[in-house]
Amino acid sequence: MDGAAHRTTLIGLARPVYFSLLASVAAGIINTLWVARLGGGAVAAVAVATNVENVLLGVALVFGSGTTVLVAHARGADDLSGVRAAVRGGWGLCGLVVPVVAVGGWLLREPVARLVLGGDGGSALGLAVAYFAVSMPGMAVFFTQQLVDGILKGAGDTRTPMRLALLANGLILAADPLLIHAYGVVGAAVSTVAARSVALGAGLVALRRNPLLRKASAAPLQASGAVRRTLRTGLPMSADFTVRQAGALALIAVVARLGVTAVAAYAIAYKALYVATMAFYAVRQAASIHTAHRRGAGHDERGAIGRQTVRVAGAAGGVAALLYLGLAPWLMRAFGASPEVSAQGALFLRCVGPYLVLMAAFIALGGVFEGSGGSPQVLRVTVVGTALQLPCAAWLSGLWGLAGVCAAMGLAMAVQCGCLVVLARRGAAQGAALTDWSRAA
């Protein structure tokens, strides 16, 4: 395939993933908007639950993303037995993880709420515990849906997960006013779990109707070890996501030294960035699927795919940087920020452009590594970047405030990009040497 063909494939895979990711983010926003009528304690409870769910998403990536890569690789090799083994490994690992998270989360709902809220939790504690009483068992639905989406994406179908996400969020939008009015905060949890359950049912039907998966279900079953392969493939991806989430939370502690206004500005601005960062992660998933598929077909095109991946994501990052530069004040006011918070948030959004472009390249190029079995390398680079970002942010924020935080984020991301480029070139050189050796042999 030439560069244009790779680029077209990446965009075609990434577009539905982007809207699917945005729809997932919208679920939390919809709940927050309706719950806001119940007071600050209710908003805090839903915010806590949403943050916990974001952390648990990293756990779901172990079997969700791992299965995506393995199914795509087997699909590229036209190995129906491999597809069946990958799907079986995903279901097996999901079956091991779901009871631990759902049951353990329900039993520990009060300690978790206290841990996140801090102190005695105030009026939000009881509401958060009540929300968790429904949402934690509901994680079984959320995790299973992540696996269904992962299987479909690995099979080359990224449109169905998008439709399922839109279906779930449409149902949440319709049910939230009724259930929140009737049951308060608990109604928001019931609405979310019920809507996701309907979407999951539709997703299971889609699995049964998928032509590739139907053929694979009749293929001979490979030897055991499918669960271990899924775990080995998905664990570095999960750890990478978790490290990034932990770094973002730790950065809030650094910003907190600048005062409450800075924390509010940072929190709102970071939410505004989701519209852009979801695009980067969509390209990452597309690159992972495409790379695994081509390698399964016997074509080591990491270099060509990587170049097109960086071009697509870099263009998205550049457009986002320009939009935030020009629209920053209006975006902050759209979130209802006070003049002081709006001013600092606008400064952050206008300074974050270089970081966004670098982040787009790094996040997207990481998908090429994931699709070719290089996830552990990306994880190590992420750990180094996160470890560098925090002390730099603590130092530079004392000099330039939120602009210093942006500078630290950009510096750390530049180091990560440099490391990943070096690893990519080394991998390309090794792949070329192996190809030359094979031809000589």
CA 408 – CA 393 distance, rounded (Å): 5
Residues contacting residue 435 through CB under 8 Å, at least 6 positions apart: 300
Q: What domain range is 12 assigned to? A: 1-222
Report the pLDDT value the prediction gives residue 43, as an integer from 0 to 100: 76
Contact of 337 with 268, CB cutoff 8 Å:
yes
Q: Could you tell me if 175 and 114 lie in one domain?
A: yes
Contact of 362 with 314, CB cutoff 8 Å:
no
Q: Could you tell me if 162 and 251 lie in one domain?
A: no
Residue type, 269: A
Contact of 45 with 191, CB cutoff 8 Å:
no
Report the pLDDT value the prediction gives residue 439, as an integer from 0 to 100: 39
> Which of 167, 194, 222 represents a domain boundary (last residue)?
222
Is residue 86 domain-resident?
A: yes
Report the pLDDT value the prediction gives residue 234, as an integer from 0 to 100: 93
Taken in order 183, 187, 189, 190, is the CA torsion positive or negative?
positive
With 60 as the cut, is the pLDDT of residue 134 above it? Answer: yes
Is residue 358 domain-resident?
A: yes
Report the pLDDT value the prediction gives residue 117, as an integer from 0 to 100: 72
Q: Could you tell me if 131 and 269 lie in one domain?
A: no
Q: Could you tell me if 14 and 101 lie in one domain?
A: yes
Taken in order 186, 27, 13, 284, is the CA torsion positive or negative?
negative
| For range 139-148, the mean pLDDT | 95
Is residue 228 domain-resident?
A: no
Q: Could you tell me if 38 and 132 lie in one domain?
A: yes
Is residue 227 domain-resident?
A: no
> Which of 198, 222, 246 represents a domain boundary (last residue)?
222
Position 58 confidence tier, pLDDT thresholds 50, 70, 90: confident
CA 37 – CA 78 distance, rounded (Å): 54
Residue type, 430: Q
Report the pLDDT value the prediction gives residue 431, as an integer from 0 to 100: 52
Which secondary-structure segment (H or E) carries 299?
Answer: none
Q: Which residue has the higher pLDDT, 2 or 280?
A: 280
User: For 23-55, how does the pLDDT look when each residue is reduced to its tens digit (9 = 90+)?
Assistant: 877 776 777 677 877 877 787 777 777 778 878
With 60 as the cut, is the pLDDT of residue 297 above it? Answer: yes
| For range 155-163, the mean pLDDT | 95
Q: Could you tell me if 213 and 238 lie in one domain?
A: no
Is residue 330 domain-resident?
A: yes
Name the average pLDDT for the chain.
88
Look up residue 179 and give its two tokens. 């259930």
Is residue 439 domain-resident?
A: yes
Q: Could you tell me if 75 and 28 lie in one domain?
A: yes
Is residue 74 domain-resident?
A: yes
Q: Could you tell me if 64 and 140 lie in one domain?
A: yes
User: For 328-351, how does the pLDDT look when each residue is reduced to its tens digit (9 = 90+)?
Assistant: 999 888 877 788 889 999 999 999
Q: How many domains does the chain have?
A: 2
pTM value is 0.89
* Residue ranges of E strands in 368-412: none
> Which of 164, 194, 222 represents a domain boundary (last residue)?
222
User: For 356-400, how does the pLDDT look when each residue is reduced to its tens digit (9 = 90+)?
Assistant: 999 999 999 999 999 998 999 999 999 999 999 999 999 999 999
Q: Could you tell me if 86 and 142 lie in one domain?
A: yes
218-225 long-range contacts (CB < 8 A, ≥24 apart) are 218/80, 219/80, 219/81, 219/83, 219/84, 220/81, 221/81, 221/84, 221/85, 221/88, 222/81, 222/82, 222/84, 222/85
With 50 as the cut, is the pLDDT of residue 433 above it? Answer: no
Q: Could you tell me if 329 and 273 lie in one domain?
A: yes
| For range 405-410, the mean pLDDT | 95
Is residue 60 domain-resident?
A: yes
Q: Could you tell me if 36 and 157 lie in one domain?
A: yes
Contact of 202 with 145, CB cutoff 8 Å:
no
User: For 246-275, how does the pLDDT look when each residue is reduced to its tens digit (9 = 90+)?
Assistant: 888 788 888 888 888 888 888 788 888 888
Which secondary-structure segment (H or E) carries 281?
Answer: helix 260-296
Q: Could you tell me if 3 and 67 lie in one domain?
A: yes
